[in-house]
Amino acid sequence: MTLEELKVTEEKKDWLKKCTNILLDSNNPNPFPKPPFATNYYNNPPNFCHGRDDYIYQISNEINDSINALQPKLIRIMGKQGIGKSTLICWCAQKLNEVYPTPIIYMETSGQPDDFNMRSLYRQITSKIEKTDFIDKLILNSIKTFVQTFADDKTLVKQLKNEFSDEEINNILKDPNYIEKKTHDVKFNEKLFELLTNNAIILKKSVPINLNYLLIFWKAHIQNPDVLDASNAFGGAGSFGGMNINTDNDASKYIDEIVELLRWSFEDKTTIIIIFDHLEAGVSQQKEEVFLNLFSLLLNLRQKKYMTLVLSGTLDAYVAFDEVLQEDQRLQLDNWAKTIALTNMNPNDIIEIVNRYLAKFWDIFDEKPSPRNSLFPFGINSIKYVYENHGQDLRKTLKQLYLLVEQYKKDKKVEYIDSFEKAFKIFRQRDDVLLSFIEKKELVAKLLDSRIKDTMRTEQVEKALCMFFDTLRDNSDYEFISDVKYKKSGGNKGPNIIIEFFGNESPDLARTFGIEVKISNNSKLISKEDIKKTYQILQDDSVDYINWITNTPLNLNITFEAPQGSKITIGRIDPLSDEELAYMSFMVYFKKLTGRTCQMEEIEFILNKIDLSPIKLKEKMMNLKALPSKTRDDQLGFRPIKSIEIGPELIRIEVEKFLKEKIDSNKKISYTSTIKSIRDALNLEPGDKRWNEDIWTITMDLTKDKCLKQTPKTIYF
């Protein structure tokens, strides 16, 4: 071990000890958010939003424009669950609120139709404004603006000075803290109310808001034991009769009053943001009524001014929304809205997000881990594996990390997850044996580890293949497999694996299938000599059919010559694809990784993945054709190698090819036709809809700078 390696090892030991003392203390917080983790503007606002700069720019621009736009803005944000839609929206609103005083009306979409009308929205707006710090800003600024109006008007300034001294006026106009303190003084409030009441007729010319509404707003919110509270004021109770919201028209009128009050109080430098998050909740038994009511509400809000409306949901939610609407209704929304589709985050961005959570945790204890230990007790690849294994869902990834830390606390032990084997055992959520991208990559690397000799590597694969076929032979569904023979590598007495078919039925019907295995960690061609030797072995032992199982190409610049009438048939000659090599490795290391033996259905699945399906082999053995006496490599031909992985990277490549053909020749592309084309190109199973949302969001992402307009189901060029 080198000096540097010793240093790293000691550093890990020291950090592990520190982690044990701090991370395992049950009194200390968990570095990760507690599940169920969901961003909410009021209860759980985001601390940061990483890896979404382009989307932040687009959304912020729309909201900024609404400050000066008479017609409200409508933004549709779509993306998979857990991809970060809520975090993105709330972060944009939060950052804008630091520049402009902006009320954020954040609402979870409801599955009840009655929740989508003006009266309900009015209650939500007043309730949300009252429950946040924004109400204080609004009160103080409305008082300041009111006093400023008097100070700037020659006919009104005398009235102002009759109530307040020059020093008081100066403090009101310059010091919000002074106003906040004075609102607790009953006499101060009474003077404000009198100024408004006594000069109502004159003020109408210079104040562009309903003065009666302003007076009620003040009386309802300024803390004074002599006045009623906000719920009474806006409910029309007591002395606030006449403010009842009996109809949607009443509610609509007072929403206008709220907007005017906001604009006036903050010198026209504000807008109101209304967020309908988790649109998929509307896909209920009453979805038709829900979405029709939502559409009607949006259309009514389109008549308002200085607003930004945000709809956020999954692609399925928008598809359901569109299906409920008539074509002209969809067109109205499409012509109004800006659509933003969120694609999966880069795994490196997930590393940075996890790093931030951990850094925030260690800051509490004035600790700063070294860069190589910044993710401790997790490795970089472990985090990426968790993210991929949870369908690239950031929320589920953080939940998994939270639960693991809680388990560490319970067990009073921290385990450093720095290897694929540990990550596989701890993080893998799947019950099936379908491998993910990272699993394939890691399994290939494990099988081709340079520390393993090629002879040992090949022997491992041979033994695993024999074990799989032996297990099948004991099952009644595979009675046609009559024998499995294996011998260690070496010598010229036949292939190392020979599988006999139909021997139980009759010696005359018996067929033998040989498997020649050569797995190497270099890319050299398998030599002509090896191929000739294998061919000669097959002749001598009268094997009926042969497959080469190898990860390196065979040198096929050779003429194979077989005796007249020979039965010997050559099967597979092309090398394993990366995907097949991964499943071969999974077969070898299955018990070590999972801690159990492979079940029948799993064996069938894995053998099928490496093109050794016993059912298909059975058909071949029943219909053997003789090999011509002279067969050249160009006559043998090659099978097309399967794709290594269905995932965002491969989808993006296929979408780029698709768009290259379509953009210049088509006026538009639809959701349905795009999904079908890409699914066909990727050879996806008909019932597998997992990738549909990724296909469409990637398509929208790649066309956003090239198209005229995007809607949830159509892109126009």
pLDDT at 231: 55
Residues 425-437 have pLDDT tens digits of 888 877 888 888 8
> What's the CA gap between 261 and 282, in Å, rounded?
32
Neighbours of 215 (CB within 10 A): 15
- Give, for 92, the enclosing helix (H) or strand (E): helix 85-99
Q: What is the pLDDT of residues 258-316, one digit of tens each?
A: 999 999 999 999 999 999 999 999 998 899 999 999 999 999 999 999 999 999 999 99
Q: How many whole angstroms separate alpha carbon 551 and alpha carbon 147?
A: 83
- Give the percent of the chain with pLDDT over 90: 44
Q: How confident is the model at residue 230 (pLDDT cuts 50, 70, 90)?
A: very low
pLDDT (0 to 100) of residue 628:
37
Q: What percent of the chain has pLDDT over 70?
A: 86
pLDDT of residue 563: 44
pLDDT at 340: 93
Average pLDDT on 84-95 reads 90
**32, 77, 698 from 706: Cα distances, Å:** 39, 19, 14
- Asked whether the predicted pLDDT for residue 11 surpasses 80, the reply is no
Cα–Cα distance between 714 and 538 in angstroms, integer? 59
Q: Are 401 and 35 in contact (CB under 8 A)?
A: no
Condensed to tens digits (0 to 9), the pLDDT of residues 166-210 reads 999 999 999 999 999 998 888 998 899 999 999 999 898 888 999
Higher-confidence residue of 584 and 21: namely 584
pLDDT of residue 465: 94
Which tens digits make up the pLDDT trace of 14-67?
Answer: 777 888 888 889 899 999 988 876 676 677 788 889 989 999 999 999 999 998
- On the 0-12 / 13-18 / 19+ scale of CB atoms within 10 A, 176 is middle
Q: pLDDT at residue 635 above 60?
A: no
574: confidence class by pLDDT, cuts 50, 70, 90: confident
Element (H, E) at 512: strand 511-518
Query: What tokens appear for 344 in the block?
Result: 């999966």
- Pair of tokens at residue 428: 């893998």
Beta-ladder partners of 481: 501
For residues 229-233, give the mean pLDDT: 51
Split at pLDDT 50, 70, 90, the class of 225 is: very low
Is 10's pLDDT higher than 50? Answer: yes
Burial pattern 318-336, b for ≥16 Cβ within 10 A else e, equals bbbbbebbeeebbebbbeb
Angle at 670 between CA 668 and CA 672, to 5 degrees: 160
Structure-block tokens of residue 135: 């109400």
Output phi, psi for 276, to 5 deg: -105, 95
The residue count for the chain = 717
Q: Decide if 579 contacts 440 (C-beta within 8 A).
A: yes
DSSP per position, 261-323:
HHHHHTTT---EEEEEE-GGGG-STTHHHHHHHHHHHHHHHTTSSSEEEEEEE-HHHHHHHHH
Sheet holding 709-710, edge to edge: 668-670, 714-716, 709-710
Q: Is the pLDDT of residue 236 over 60?
A: no
pLDDT of residue 556: 55
Rounded to 10 degrees, the C-alpha dihedral 175/176/179/180 comes to -140
Instruction: Supply the pTM of this predicted model.
Output: 0.77
Give yes or no for residue 629 having a pLDDT over 50.
no
| CA gap 261, 350 in Å, rounded | 42
pLDDT at 386 over 80: yes
Q: With contact defined as beta carbons under 8 Å apart, do 87 and 46 qualify? A: yes
Q: Does the N-terminal peptide bond of residue 563 adopt cis geometry, omega within 30 degrees of 0?
A: no
Q: In whole angstroms, what is the distance from residue 158 CA to residue 199 CA?
A: 12
Q: Is the pLDDT of residue 624 over 70?
A: no
Query: Taking CA 657 as the corner, what is the angle to CA 651 and CA 660, rounded to the nearest 5 degrees?
Result: 135
So what's the pLDDT on residue 126?
Answer: 84
Q: How many of the other CB atoms lie within 10 Å of CB of 204?
A: 12
Spatial contact of 250 and 244, defined as CB atoms under 8 Å apart: yes
Distance CA 598, CA 683 (A): 27
Which is higher by pLDDT, 556 or 602? 602
Mean of the per-residue pLDDT values of the chain: 84
Residues linked to residue 312 through DSSP beta bridges, in sequence order: 77
Bridge partners for 273 per DSSP? 104, 308
Confidence class for position 564, pLDDT limits 50, 70, 90: very low
Six token digits for residue 280: 């998929």
* Rounded CA separation 217/213 (Å): 6
Say what the pLDDT of residue 131 is: 78
Q: Report how far residue 565's alpha carbon sits from residue 561's, in angstroms, rounded to the nearest whole number.
A: 12
Distance CA 697, CA 377 (A): 34
Question: Confidence class of residue 537 from pLDDT cuts 50, 70 and 90?
Answer: low
Average pLDDT, integer, range 633-647: 41
List CB contacts of 653: < 8 A, sequence separation 6 or more. none
Token pair of 203 as six digits: 């003020």
- The 10s digit of each residue's pLDDT in 485-532 is 887 765 555 678 889 998 888 877 888 888 888 898 876 777 667 777
pLDDT given for residue 631 in this prediction: 35
- Over 80: is that where the pLDDT of 232 sits? no
Q: pLDDT-derived band of residue 541, with 50, 70 and 90 as boundaries?
A: low
Residue 674's pLDDT is what?
94
Owner of token pair 């100024």: 195
End-to-end alpha-carbon separation of the chain, Å?
61
In terms of pLDDT, which residue wins out, 344 or 648?
A: 344
639 pLDDT exceeds 60?
Answer: no
pLDDT, tens digit (0-9, with 9 covering 90-100), for 402-430: 999 999 999 988 888 888 888 898 888 77
Give me 373's structure tokens: 């230990």
- Phi and psi at 338, nearest 5°, equal -105, 130
Q: Among 18-22, 251-255, 308-312, 541-545, which is the least confidently predicted range?
A: 541-545
Cα separation, 385 vs 82, in Å, equals 16
- Give the separation between CA 525 and CA 76, rounded to whole angstroms: 55
CA 574 to CA 561: how far, in whole Å?
20
